[in-house]
Amino acid sequence: MQDSILKLFIDDINDIREYIKYIDLVNDIEISNRISDDESLVKFREHLHSFGVSKKLFEYKSITISLYGILEKYIGQWILEYVSQLPKIVSSYSDFSEKFREDHFNLSVKLLSLIGESKSSKYENIKRESVLARLSSCIDSPINYELNGDAFYLHSGNLKHSKIVEALNHLDIQLTNRLKAVGQRPGGFLSGGPSNIASKGDELFKLIDDLVARRNDIAHGENIDNILNITEFSDYVNFLESYGRAVFQTLVERKNQYESEYLYKKIDNVKGIYKSGSVLCFEIENNEIRIGDYIIVKLQDGGFLKKEILEIEKDNIKFHNLLITNLENIGVNLGGGLSNGQIFFLRKSSN
């Protein structure tokens, strides 16, 4: 999961903010020039007044549909990207949970059916032969397998929070619980919220569901009675960005968890954490470690973060890299955020 994918999502969100700012500026120009007799401004005012109600409705529909489109587009892309990474981490298909394998099979069969129906352009570029080949690889060659990422994201058009939860549940991710954990971290979108967040469910994400409901009313041609003012959209825009960031982070951390199990090994003998949670000291043997490598940290809330190694020190001497055979004590600077109760994982040596 690359930060560049998240950046595209944030850029699209910011484009909506800029559009809202533009609308505000247009409205401010009209208000501040109501008594001007400049010909161009007179025509401008007359034009705005002639379709004022229609303009407001058009802006409402445009922003609502655009926000929903961002939600649907990027949730789908992130799921596909996440699934594409798994065969590079999990060496054998049989290592996945029985539920994951069963869901992958059933959803692949459903994908084949949808391709055969030819009812949606969404599946035009997906070949049945490719779907079957990937599914067959999981059975015939589980050590050299491919997954049908498209199978995990079949439905669109009504992506309420519960639907996104359902999609990620097929990937063995309990989304609501993970969003609560991510959201309550310092600076998270649920930090500073009610003290009973742990007991709450989908109501925490009601702005997402309300956005979807508004989009559905527009798409189905319903009469629109409750139009949001431009200023009211800020809550939806801000929440969508925070929600999207948290979903992305949840997928990243689940990938990190897989890496900690298959590509990394647990650091069993941690000697201590120093310099205000920046430096981790531990014993290491039969491994190579470099500046720029990562250590995976399992947080107390169940999340898995990657911390880049910024400095390496042994016997008060700093190194760019160390090849260690015998048991040694070393310290690594990970930039902060370390505390007692966390579990640490070091990437296995390729040698």
DSSP 222-250: -----PPPGGGHHHHHHHHHHHHHHHHHH
Closest CA to 145 of 81, 111, 98, 101: 101
pLDDT at 351: 55
Higher pLDDT, 75 or 27: 75
pLDDT of 255 above 90: yes
Share of the chain above pLDDT 90, in %: 70
DSSP state of 16: H
The confidence band for 155, taking pLDDT boundaries of 50, 70 and 90, is: low
The confidence band for 52, taking pLDDT boundaries of 50, 70 and 90, is: low
pLDDT, average across residues 274-283: 96
Q: Which residues pair with 321 in a beta bridge?
A: 290
pLDDT of 157 above 80: no
For 241, half-sphere exposure in the C-beta direction (CA atoms, 13 angstrom radius) is 15
Higher pLDDT, 38 or 290: 290
Asked if 158 and 212 touch (Cβ cutoff 8 Å), the reply is yes
The confidence band for 141, taking pLDDT boundaries of 50, 70 and 90, is: confident
pLDDT at 17: 96
Radius of gyration of the chain (CA): 25
Q: Which pairs with CB-CB distance under 8 Å and at least 24 residues apart come from 128-137?
A: 134/108, 135/104, 135/105, 135/108
Angle between helices 52-85 and 206-219 (to 10 degrees): 120
Asked if 314 and 273 touch (Cβ cutoff 8 Å), the reply is no
Amino acid at 253: E
Residue 139: helix, strand or coil by DSSP?
Answer: helix
Which domains, and CATH codes, for the chain?
Answer: 3-262 (no CATH), 264-347 (2.40.30.10)
Residues whose CB falls within 8 Å of the CB of residue 64, separated by 6 or more in sequence, listed in order = 211, 214, 215, 218, 228
When the pLDDT of each residue in the chain is averaged and rounded to a whole number, the result is 91
pLDDT at 96: 95
| Count of other CB atoms within 10 angstroms of residue 293 | 16
Higher pLDDT, 305 or 141: 305
pLDDT at 139: 86
